[in-house]
Structure 1
Amino acid sequence: MFKIILTVFLLFSAALSEVVAQKSLNLSFGFPEINLDYEGNFDGLRTVYRNGWSITLSGYKIRQNGVIYGFDVGVNRYGNGFQYDRMRFDIKEIHHFSVLPFIGYNHSIREAKFSIRANLGFGLGIVPIENKTYLNDKSFQTGYTSYGVPLYDLTFSGSQEVKSRIFPLLKPSLELHYAVGERSTLFLKGTLGISLMNSVIVRDFPEVLLDGENYSVTHSTSLSYSSLEIGYSYRIK
């Protein structure tokens, strides 16, 4: 793993030195949606808030033949919580950082202010969040009768574990740019973040007690996502 980190760091240094010499930058704000999988015999207890936000900063160079190469760094943050019936219980968010060199191609439409760019990045996602333990958690009462008695007697015990702090990430994207000045454009960007790990974060609840019955459920995510982004690009040189 150390060799992977060192290799990416060296790629980052080389790409950044090249990019800084050309001074072309993108800044984008996105609205990603994470993928989740469920296993077990209790579908009622769900992980919710799969949507979130992202910020990505990219440095790149466009050659005369349209070839793009550069580097981007970003952070994705997702809301996080549990839901049963109509009641939701928020917990600390899920987030990860990404570090990716990329290559691509730019096509400018003649006699128009529009251009289309397709990029493919490959690098690392980094998950800094801590593991958690849930033991007979009663934070979640989904409603009460007029006498103050819970409608559902629900408790759960288990854990949230980060299976891999660093995971390989493939990131294809398509951008539509509109020139708003001699050196600047506004753009829309569609992005897929494809994790190459089956499960990066796993929530395992082997004991879910509801009205005296015992169930089990597992929530997992590879941290793959899809996102729509809006951004601003500026060519310094």
Structure 2
Amino acid sequence: MLANIRQRLGRYDRACQAANDAGDWDRLDHYVALLDRDVAELQRRTGQPAEAQDAAASSQPSRAAHYTPEVTWQLTDDELMAQLSELHDDPAAQEQIVATLEWREELVRVRDAEIAAWQAQQEADQRARAAAEQAEIDASPLTNPARRAGRKLTPEQTCREEYDSHVYTSYILAEIECQGHLLNREGLAAGVDPETLFMGPSARARKYASEELRTWWGRNGRTTYAEWRYAWFGRESDKAAARTAKAQSLGEVTA
């Protein structure tokens, strides 16, 4: 308790000096009153003037050097807090313990931020590798039937198969980034195939998609076949259907 009073006296004294330097006389009067109150309280508890107490305390060597981060590396935070409460006669040591605890907190904060950044980079690298691998697969005639010249597909058939390949790629990437959480409770209960949400009416996507998948669509888009076909051929006859599909979508779902 006496250590707390002494700490307040130090804070009030510094506050008085700051208020005086700033010419804030109302604030100065406020802290002078607090200072006088705690000085009287200290004298009442100790039976001697505060100056005598301060002189007695200053005559004893401080143990502050025993509580630096380098010295206390084997002590836990709880052990430091326990010693803090025992050092009533050594305010400098108490201040050093507080500084050491604050240093540890900052160290943990920086470490956690670095770990989070590393994890985010690992996830981004994983997504990039998956996208590159899938793009390589889609570009190969061995894995993408639409790329096989000998099949003699019509332009419409080629467009459709390229769209199907795009849908599958989007589904795989979303599955990775969302860690498998593509359906909401209603979709799970209905046994919906999540891949089917990447095509067709946006109303069905709204009904069954998880929040994670909606967020993924917000970043990467969701394209219906009507939009794909219009982008593929650029025909005026497809423009109205593409515009209608886009108008019916949610803000985060490009459908």
| Structure with bigger gyration radius | 2
Give TM class, smaller chain. under 0.3
Higher RCO structure, 1 or 2 (CA under 8 Å, sep 6+): 1
Structure having the higher strand fraction is 1
TM-score calculated relative to the size of structure 2:
0.21
Tell me which protein shows more helix as a share of its residues: 2
User: How does the TM-score come out when normalised to structure 1?
Assistant: 0.22
